[in-house]
Amino acid sequence: CAEIAGAAPELPFFFYDIPGFTGVSLSMPQFLDAVADRIPNLSGIKFTNPDGMMFQQCLHHQDGAFSILWGTDECLLAGLALGATGAVGSTYNFAAPLYHRIMAAFAANDFEKGRFEQKRSVDLVARLASIGYMGAAKAVMGFLGVPVGPARLPQANPDKDQITSLRADLEEMGFFDWVRV
């Protein structure tokens, strides 16, 4: 990490904790302690990890010295309840209005509405993951008029039939209505 962060020392560096993809689980509070002095531009963590206790430990670590960004789109409401004040997620690229409604419901203490909207996110992410998440997410960007090309290797890309089926499923679930501004 230090070498990567050092290549752009004037920019904030965020460590990406995503054990579900990497297969590597580390204690993030211990990580922050171990590298804070070696990476002067360390700003925080993109926390894409289901461990809510560790998320809160990171939020309060060293009196909140680090920015801990919530990184699990399909659990944004839970992240907000745990104290998240910022989030980074891939589905936010094409479903931002859905997540704005989740945040607004949380701010209004309307948890029924928040759970309703969050379930839409869960259904969306599950459908994308069923055919290879990143390739499917990129296909959705194309459906919305932003062709971003295929997922990089070794990520899977959906074939033509899967793309047709994905679009039909998204239409059936009302996705294209959810994302209208």
Nearest of 88, 51, 91 to residue 67 by alpha carbon: 88
* Inter-residue contact 151 to 157 (CB < 8 Å): yes
* Same-domain status, 62 and 99: no
Same domain, 102 and 57: no
pLDDT per position as a tens digit, 137-169: 999 999 999 999 999 999 999 999 999 999 999
CA 129 from centre of chain: 13
Decide if 61 is inside a domain: yes
> What is the pTM (predicted TM-score) of this model?
0.92
Residues 160 and 99 occupy one common structural domain: yes
- Structurally, the chain folds into a number of domains equal to 2
Same domain, 50 and 127: no
Question: 3: domain range?
Answer: 1-70
Please indicate, yes or no, if residue 158 is contained in any of the structural domains.
yes
The answer on 95 and 65 residing in a single domain is no
Q: In this predicted model, what pLDDT tens digit does every residue of 84-143 receive, in sequence order?
A: 999 999 999 999 999 999 999 999 999 999 999 999 999 999 999 999 999 999 999 999
Assess whether 175 and 99 both reside in one domain.
Answer: yes
**Is the domain of 101 the same as that of 171?**
yes
Last residue of a domain, one of 70, 105, 125: 70
Q: Could you list the active site residues? A: 16, 46
pLDDT tens-digit readout, 62-75: 999 999 999 999 99
- 156 belongs to a structural domain: yes
Residue written as token pair 């296909």:
139
Q: Tally Cβ neighbours within 10 Å of residue 73.
A: 23
Residue 175 sits in the same domain as residue 109: yes
Non-local (6+) Cβ contacts of 47 within 8 A are: 17, 28, 54, 55, 58, 68, 69, 70, 71
Say whether both 95 and 66 belong to one domain: no
